[in-house]
Amino acid sequence: MTRLFNDPEDFAEEMIDGFTLASARWVRAVAGGVARATRAAEPTVAVVIGGGSGHYPAFGGLVGPGLAHGAAMGNLFASPSAQQVHSVARAADEGRGVLLTFGNYAGDVLHFGQAQERLRETGIDCRTVLVTDDIWSAPKEDLDRRRGIAGDLVVFKVAGAAAEAGYDLDEVERVARVANARTRSFGVAFGGCTLPGATEPLFTVPEGKMAVGLGIHGEPGIDEIDLPSADELARMFVEKLLDELPDGVELPGARVVPILNGLGSVKYEELFVVYRTVHRLLEEAGAVVVDPEVGEFCTSFDMAGASLTLLWPDDEVERLWLAPCDTPAYRRGAVSPRAAVSEASVADELDEAPIGVASEDSRVVAAIVVTALAAMARMLDEQADDLGRMDRVAGDGDHGIGMQRGSRAAAAAAAKAAERGAGAGTTLVRASDAWSDKGGGTSGAIWGVMLRALGGTLGDDAPADALTVGAGIKAMSDAVMSFGKAKPGDKTMIDAIVPFADALVQRVGAGGRLSDAWAEASEIADSAAQATSHMTARLGRARSHGDKSLGTPDPGAVSFALIADAVLEVLKKEV
């Protein structure tokens, strides 16, 4: 259990503040995370990493010479927003391009992808390499669907060393992909982690059992088995990982870097007991052990668990893995002297851009938007715990708190824009940016896209009649399907918003009043959301858990239906 905190809502921000103060030799605070505090004599490609907080030393602890140039640091177990990633990347950029690399989680993919597009629009060459080392999260034939766990360190380190050596962006990207392709990991847990202010862990493991195939965001394991001894766990780790050697690796004779990682509350002494057998079994299999690592490299708050990562390097990857680096949490050898960075931090502001001209009719609609967003935020405050419990069945339990943070920020940003005379379109765009930035995670990215699509349809000039609102909701539905690549039947929010949008468009097209049409569409969305309980997840974190989510509706679909109901109450009074 996490014991030392003030307001749980402020935990991540206060943690990052304390980390930068304690690590000023290596990092400086920038909007959205941290960047290097020093720079070499010659500019290099910038390697920018990131993810949710709660995984120290990942991600901020790995910023420094020879490793990462910056880390975007999201809220607890929530991906950083596109705004945060973009800001950190701009601060880290040295003029030779940016490589974004991070674990393959839906929210991270969406937000880092948006940031990459924005960087390219401003003339910064940017590439992305996903870390996909977790063998338990998808079968061999679906390597690109696997999530990233402690193998993050390998890809980050190799990419950072390549940049330090003067590689250009093409070559840094290439060698990072090689490192990822040659890395495999497998994790287990004996108990879940508890976030600051929470009264119970995100998941529990029955007495005498061990969860296998867990992620690093508090997701439950994919299976449970009897609790093994240290030697039995080591044998399980090694046998499972040797059963899937990367292409081009042959035993005996292959060189291997083992990384035994503690997930939060397993002591180093316990890890050493496990490692002694890991080392022996690898040598018995004919592997040549190179520079093993035992410790904490990618944690999950106070989770009781461990993972084993095996890197099977070629000559180039091994040289880069062994190259010097100097960061707050990971150091090797001696790096060359460098100068302190003196320029001001890069900051992205969401609300300082000027407000454009809007018609009086559109400003009236903007006021209704503000009321609706405030109602959504109040409802999500009340429902956050229930949505979180629903999400814990086969996810990481953060859906409720992410929706709560995002909706609060969106409501505040919308109110501020409307006070400055914004029309409906601009008000929704400001709300979308705030939701994406503060909500983080998959839901933050998706709701940001949805509100922006609605704002684009409503605009700042014309009144919003029922047909225009219907078209805007359809635009929201189309945008989220295009952005998130989900489709009906995948057990996502799509299963609620698509029938809602279709029903609304049909009703208003037939001449129905907006509030009446919305009421009928809301009933359909409610039913559709509950019907997801009979589906097997095919996208997102729940996908890795197969049928475990059967019997529980998708939290994203449920939250959308609840939002539709909350907005309906506003429409009954305002329209």
Residues that are catalytic: 217
CA angle 535–538–540, rounded 5-degree value: 115
Residue in 347, 345, 336, 343 with CA at minimum distance from that of residue 64: 336
**Under 8 Å between Cβ of 175 and 317:** yes
Residue the block writes with tokens 């824009």 = 417
Q: Residue 180 region, left (φ>0) first, then alpha (ψ -120 to 50), else beta?
A: alpha
**Under 8 Å between Cβ of 245 and 288:** no
Residue in 95, 31, 16, 91 with CA at minimum distance from that of residue 61: 16
Q: Identify the three-state secondary structure at position 467.
A: helix
432, two tokens: 């979308």
Return the sign of the alpha-carbon dihedral for residues 12, 18, 24, 26.
negative
Residues of the chain by 3-state class (helix, strand, coil), percent to 5: 50, 15, 35
Residue in 95, 72, 98, 70 with CA at minimum distance from that of residue 83: 72
Q: Identify the three-state secondary structure at position 523.
A: helix
70: which strand partners? 35, 48
